[in-house]
Amino acid sequence: MIESAYDWRWVLYALLAAAAASDIRSYRIPNVLPLAVIGALVVAMIFSAAPAEDYAAAAGSGLIGLGVGYAFFRLRLMGGGDGKLFAAAAAWFSAGALLSVGFFVSLAGIAVALAALFARTRRSVGAGAGDGGALKAALKTRVPYGVAIAIGVVIASLVPAQG
């Protein structure tokens, strides 16, 4: 995590929780939330008197995150709101930390996808769908990937940076 923003990470956590809750509720992340994540980072850096290098690192990481998010959106692996949230959250980290952010977001994504699949399968079986019908319905399960982004980013921010 960018050092000058570290003491403000609780604001990031609150905004990620709001994005995750919105994604669970409606499978949408309003544009205002990624914008608020970026705005909170800028405010944190201003109040922390961050050096110019931190601003450059945040911009670079945000652009890398935007590229990754856009690629995953184009491949239909995540929604547009998920990609924007990932890019905004990536800006809180140095470029060297983005690999661990991606790793933890991916692990959280697997866990969230399995939980959604399990819940959908239980609902389908409980509703009387046959085994084959339950599996087909479960495989069409939408995944609120904003939850995985929130979990993965929080974990990445708590893991000490390797240097």
The secondary structure of 94-131 as a DSSP string is: -GGGHHHHHHHHHHHHHHHHHHHHHHHHHHHHHTT--H
70 in a structural domain: yes
163 in a structural domain: no
The one-letter amino acid code at 124 reads S
pLDDT tens profile 31-79: 999 999 999 999 999 999 999 999 999 999 999 999 999 999 999 889 9
The structural domain count of the chain equals 1
82 in a structural domain: yes
pLDDT tens profile 114-151: 998 888 777 766 655 555 665 666 567 788 999 999 99
- Determine the Cα–Cα distance for residues 137 and 12; give it in Å rounded to an integer: 35
- Single pTM value for the model: 0.89
Domain hosting 34: range is 3-158
> 40-59: string of b/e by CB count within 10 Å (b at 16+)?
bbeebbeebebeeebbebbe
Tokens of 120: 């959908």
